């Protein structure tokens, strides 16, 4: 499941794109849906990389065995890797095969073949590989080595570049999705079989994923609808600071923060403040953290006074914490 922090970053990217190439709200919503579906494709391709690597290893071993003058080792190869219990079960899994088919994963092409062969050569020379070949073949041992191989493949430059070249959207998300996949693979156990569900990055079969997506979609639409209003709020709260000098990314983050404060009663103000400070560190300037923090504090006081923040359940915080805020403590300067 994609975290809400990650989904907020995807919403930010779509909103930023509308400032470069203005589109109506319906198109922006469609673009967001497409960006999330492409994350599912990226996740599937990364998993397929592990399966195809093991298949390539089997092909290379077979080719060496049928050379005109094979060595003794080539004539009697250790086929432990092609018969890796964990990867073989993964390859036979109905869910994964279905995901691969839907994502149109295609490893045809000389560049892909070379990249996988280079990866096999590198792996076969690792000390861990020799230790693996000598170990007892159990599901746990095979899974442990497969995880090491997956981690290596995700960081192998040639394969990484080939995968990222399939979509401009993937460069920033590649490592995050690889980490999700690694943890998902690690969580599988020896009950893995053809019928085991293999979860997508955003999987409509799971209520939590549906809820997370709906949160992000609602945040996107609310932000776009109230953009002009929030710009006016920012101008009013600037002190000794020209609006034109405010980083455009900071304006977008503040737009999102106001939408979240007013449209999501179950999310505490403190969570919202922390999230947009973190996003400013990732996407904006070095000074944005203090600016975002100070302005959002002012917004909370203003919006609460206007009755526009109505938190319920876990969203409730002690109003006295806001009463004690010094509105001049964080200047926009």
Q: Residue 313 has what pLDDT?
A: 58
Query: 130-137: which pairs have CB atoms within 8 A and are 24 or more residues apart?
Result: 132/80, 132/81, 133/78, 133/80, 133/81, 137/80, 137/83, 137/85
The answer to whether residue 222 scores a pLDDT higher than 90 is yes
R_g over Cα of the chain: 25
Angle at 180 between CA 102 and CA 99, to 5 degrees: 10
Q: pLDDT tens, 163-213?
A: 999 988 899 899 999 999 999 999 999 999 999 999 999 999 999 999 999
Q: Residue 326 has what pLDDT?
A: 36
Q: pLDDT tens, 64-75?
A: 777 777 777 767
> What's the pTM value of the predicted model, to 2 decimals?
0.85
As to burial, measured by CB atoms within 10 angstroms (0-12 exposed, 13-18 middle, 19+ buried), residue 321 is: exposed
In CATH terms, is domain 226-323 a member of 1.10.940.10?
yes
Distance CA 145, CA 92 (A): 19
Most trustworthy range by pLDDT among 104-113, 145-154, 239-248: 145-154
Give domain limits for the chain: 7-187, 226-323
Q: Residue 75 has what pLDDT?
A: 76
Q: Residue 211 has what pLDDT?
A: 96
The answer to whether residue 325 scores a pLDDT higher than 50 is no
Mean pLDDT within 231-255: 84
Q: Residue 320 has what pLDDT?
A: 40
């Amino acid at each position: 499941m994609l975290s809400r922090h990650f989904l907020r970053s995807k919403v930010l990217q779509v909103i930023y794109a509308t400032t470069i190439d203005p589109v109506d709200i319906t198109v922006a919503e469609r673009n967001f849906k497409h960006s999330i579906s492409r994350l599912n494709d990226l996740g599937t391709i990364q998993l397929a990389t592990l399966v195809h690597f093991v298949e390539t290893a089997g092909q290379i071993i077979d080719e060496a065995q049928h050379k005109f003058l094979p060595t003794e080792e080539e004539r009697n190869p250790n086929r432990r890797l092609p018969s890796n219990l964990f990867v073989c079960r993964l390859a036979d899994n109905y869910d994964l095969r279905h995901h691969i088919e839907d994502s149109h994963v295609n490893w045809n092409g000389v560049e892909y073949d070379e990249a996988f062969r280079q990866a096999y050569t590198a792996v076969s020379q690792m000390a861990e590989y020799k230790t693996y070949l000598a170990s007892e073949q159990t599901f746990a041992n095979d899974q442990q080595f497969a995880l090491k191989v997956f981690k290596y493949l995700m960081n192998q430059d040639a394969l990484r570049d080939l995968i990222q070249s399939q979509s401009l959207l993937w460069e920033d998300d590649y490592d995050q999705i690889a980490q999700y996949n690694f943890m998902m693979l690690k969580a599988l156990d020896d009950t893995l079989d053809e019928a085991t569900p293999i979860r997508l990055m955003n999987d409509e079969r799971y209520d939590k994923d549906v809820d997370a997506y709906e949160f992000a979609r609602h945040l996107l639409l609310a932000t776009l609808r109230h953009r002009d209003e929030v710009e006016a709020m920012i101008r009013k709260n600037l002190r000794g600071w020209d609006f034109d000098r405010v980083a455009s990314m900071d304006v977008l983050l503040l737009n999102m923060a106001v939408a979240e404060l007013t449209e999501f009663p179950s999310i505490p103000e403190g969570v919202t403040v922390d999230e947009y400070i973190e996003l400013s560190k990732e996407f904006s300037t070095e000074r944005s953290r203090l600016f975002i923090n100070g302005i959002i504090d002012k917004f909370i006081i203003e919006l609460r006074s206007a009755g526009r923040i109505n938190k319920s359940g876990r969203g409730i915080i002690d109003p006295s914490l806001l009463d004690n805020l010094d509105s001049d403590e964080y200047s926009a300067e």
